Amino acid sequence: MQPTISIPKHWGYPRFALDQRTKEGIILGLHYYPNGTELAEQFGGGWRYALMPNKNSDELFHFQESQIQPLTPEELFLQIRAEIEFYQQQTAILQQHLFAITGGSING
């Protein structure tokens, strides 16, 4: 069963999704400040997003929806391709370690 998030009809639908990659980072969370509330007056009404600049960061930044820029399809492709290549290299290194500790027999 897929998790479901219900958004009240009087709120606008968020422009960005959880785990979406943007120019500012990866979206880890979102929250809504309804107009007419103290938080909306202080920070601006509407959706706000928590983003991590990169997957190795321990920092989290908060942005209004208007401050976030989506990646172009080409930028997204290059990011994902680089990540795939990184993990392929890591897998090759781990396979070499496994080969070394098993004396050449991967089945152990």
Q: Are 79 and 71 in contact (CB under 8 A)?
A: yes
Give the mean model confidence (pLDDT) for residues 21-40.
94
pLDDT digits (tens, 9 = 90+) for 39-85: 999 988 999 999 999 888 899 999 999 999 999 999 999 999 999 99
CA dist 26 and 56 (Å) reads: 11
How many CB atoms neighbour CB 25 within 10 A?
21
**Residues 99-105, mean pLDDT to the nearest whole number:** 84
13: phi then psi, degrees, rounded to nearest 5: -80, 140
Residue 107 above 70 pLDDT? no
